[in-house]
Structure 1
């Protein structure tokens, strides 16, 4: 039986971004093992996916001595377990995982790119990130951007490696479970209870955002656009602040805390009730690879307002299943929100197309089968 080692920097990426896929590969003839930093999600991953997990001392920040230690741990792990395939995700795991796999002579080295921090970086940080991407691609046999626009960017910025680039299927690292993410999966009573708990009337329109509450998710523009709306509505924010790494402006944080129609519920393990209780999904992020949350919102039959960035502008077609606005443009975002708030007929028309667009391209089992075929063809 051939063995696959899947590596991410932190276990939450294995737990959320690759949920179900690891078990699927195990059921289709592969011995799957995983590696990441340690964390509370590891037990759940091992039980649900039926995998053996190995803890590596990864850090998410640049830390040369700790990174060297993690690299050595990966080399030792690969030499001991002898995987036929090493498949990495996230920048730090990609760099160290591909270097370790090349050093150990692994037959097939694969790296998936889902978002690229250097797109927003500047100065020395950007130069360092470019170098790490180059090293990762040099050590990999194949590199898989998970959207067309991301591949276009990579071909332009890293033309020396473009023969290694390939998109699997229609994009997306994992697709989505379209049975799980459906309006029918949420009881009407749960929706009513949620709106009642937050004092939202049955007739009020609700905008919803799901993601980390940080600057590069477009939180500043979203809150400012919402505050500029003349029509009354609610803004539901589902996600946690990350003040230690990417704090939002104090003024924005104060508005979130004090505004009577902005509701912040923090991180939620199950986002479906919050999507089902809302009317319009808004995601003005500055950069993404292929955002699962946009897939999930569209599968839940929500019209989506997204920024014109990689991934989002491939999932959403303007005026078909949502609206696309320029990045970092508060005024255009406000106009789009206002349009769907006032024009209920248009909102319904966009919503009616949302789920169909996801079923056709991004159903989870279609994505898993495409990745499985890639393993079978190359290993």
Structure 2
């Protein structure tokens, strides 16, 4: 039996579903579909699966979207999968519609995050309409976490049954890979030297795209205020600057460029060394489904400061493995960062709990097994109906 997994860009298949596709390929023939690129080739080689490129625009582009829809339809008619399973918004809409047109019997979409709750007016209405259309074409909907599930219900996106697989998250966490033991003291010493991080510096790290929706404007402002108060700290920004879709404010870009304590290192294939030289994750995103970064930081024994949004407020429990602050609030973010530095007992308690609280809820094999069981159950139910 054949299963098709889709995402808008290959980065999602390559990073979000790393290892999972290979695991599923042991039970089914798995085909990965995403936009073309080197990362899609990497998925093919590493996961040992067939991949097909169908370019999809992340933004709204009606003509290009229709072209992608037709190409997906043709691929699905040729491949004839029993299940098609999408993640990411645009791939979800196009895959569910083309899957229905092509007669794929089981059409699954996992909502890894919702955009519309952070939008207003006409844009929000359009995004809600798109998600409703997606759900109408799908046979099964899985929110990545309880917060996403609640939003789907509150906004009346679908009347279909909604169920979170496991404790949430699409892929779980590889606890052997994300472990402080995987980074040597020599590696850490060398990286600190390269970045001019001195002994006694408290290092906050952000990992992700440097865009407005990730709370970078508020993070940079909070950190700048913190440093003006004389706290010895550094802010490590690990991720690509993406100014096309969601640009940072000019004053934020200027501060990043001119503040010697802000260390932008761009996209890094292996983020573990950067976690290893840091003291806490700062992740004030506006919206998430179930952020891998927060789980990765916890597995690397880092407490987190996160915004009070879906996913983040499920992984982090206030005062146990991190601190939760209001969205878009630089002052509260600064206060949380200040407390991490000043209250050593509080910080060490958070750090001591960080890895154990990830281990007990999000170990990767548990998520993979739960998904495989779900596929088998859906196929069995379909066979009964047929």
Bin the TM-score by the shorter chain: over 0.9
Deviations 1:48-98 (A, max 9, x none): 111111111211121111111111111111111100000011111111100
Equivalences for residues 120-269 of structure 1 within 5 A = 120-158=118-156, 161-229=158-226, 230=229, 231-269=231-269
Give the corresponding residue for 1:287: 287
- Partner Cα separation in structure 1 for residue 160 and residue 89 of structure 2: 20
Which ranges of structure 2 fall in alignment gaps of 5 or more residues?
380-386
| 3-state SS in 2 of match to 1:169 | coil
Deviations 1:18-62 (A, max 9, x none): 1100000011x2000011110111111001111111111211121
| 3-state SS in 2 of match to 1:88 | strand
Equivalences for residues 318-333 of structure 1 within 5 A = 318-333=318-333
**TM-score, normalising length: structure 2:** 0.96
- Comparing 83-92 with 114-123, greater Cα deviation is found at 114-123
2:17 aligned with 1:8, yes or no?
A: no
Give the corresponding residue for 1:298: 298
Aligned with residue 35 of structure 1, among 20, 26, 33: 33
- Check the 8 A contact 1:57/1:69 in 2, yes or no: no
- Partner Cα separation in structure 2 for residue 58 and residue 214 of structure 1: 21
- Partner Cα separation in structure 1 for residue 55 and residue 147 of structure 2: 33
Give the corresponding residue for 1:359: 359
Q: What is the CA-CA distance between 1:104 and the residue it aligns to?
A: 1.5
- Partner Cα separation in structure 1 for residue 333 and residue 67 of structure 2: 45
- Check the 8 A contact 1:37/1:57 in 2, yes or no: yes
- Check the 8 A contact 1:280/1:305 in 2, yes or no: yes
- Check the 8 A contact 2:111/2:289 in 1, yes or no: yes
Give the corresponding residue for 1:22: 21
- Check the 8 A contact 2:200/2:232 in 1, yes or no: no
Give the corresponding residue for 2:382: none
Give the corresponding residue for 2:115: 117
Give the corresponding residue for 1:62: 60
Q: What is the CA-CA distance between 1:178 and the residue it aligns to?
A: 0.7
- Check the 8 A contact 2:214/2:285 in 1, yes or no: yes
- Partner Cα separation in structure 2 for residue 19 and residue 246 of structure 1: 26
RMSD between aligned alpha carbons?
Answer: 0.9
- Check the 8 A contact 2:219/2:330 in 1, yes or no: yes
- Partner Cα separation in structure 2 for residue 162 and residue 175 of structure 1: 27
Q: What is the CA-CA distance between 1:162 and the residue it aligns to?
A: 3.6
Runs of 4 or more above 4 Å deviation: none
Equivalences for residues 79-118 of structure 1 within 5 A = 79-118=77-116
- Partner Cα separation in structure 2 for residue 162 and residue 204 of structure 1: 51
**TM-score, normalising length: structure 1:** 0.98
| 3-state SS in 1 of match to 2:169 | coil
Q: What is the CA-CA distance between 1:164 and the residue it aligns to?
A: 2.7
- Partner Cα separation in structure 1 for residue 260 and residue 103 of structure 2: 59
